[in-house]
Amino acid sequence: MIGDQRALGSGQRRKEEISGRRAAEGRDKMHATNIAEELPDRVSDVLSGFTQWLRVFGETSWDHQSFFAGPVGRRAKSLYYQNRLLGTAAVAPMIFFEAFLPSARRLFHQPTRFPIVDAHYAMGFLRS
Q: Quick check: 76 and 91 in contact, CB under 8 A?
A: yes
In contact, 108 and 95? CB cutoff 8 Å: no
Pure H helices in 1-128: 2-7, 10-57, 66-69, 71-82, 84-100, 115-127
Cα(11)–Cα(19) distance, rounded to whole angstroms? 12
> Hey, is 106 helix, strand or coil?
helix
Q: What's the pTM?
A: 0.46
- pLDDT value of position 74: 92
Nearest to 125 by CA among 63, 41, 48: 48
Residues contacting residue 98 through CB under 8 Å, at least 6 positions apart: 64, 67, 105
CB 106 within 8 A of CB 63: no
Per residue in 57-86, pLDDT tens?
Answer: 877 777 777 788 888 989 999 999 999 999
Greater pLDDT, 108 or 96: 96
Q: What is the pLDDT of residues 38-54, one digit of tens each?
A: 788 888 888 888 788 88
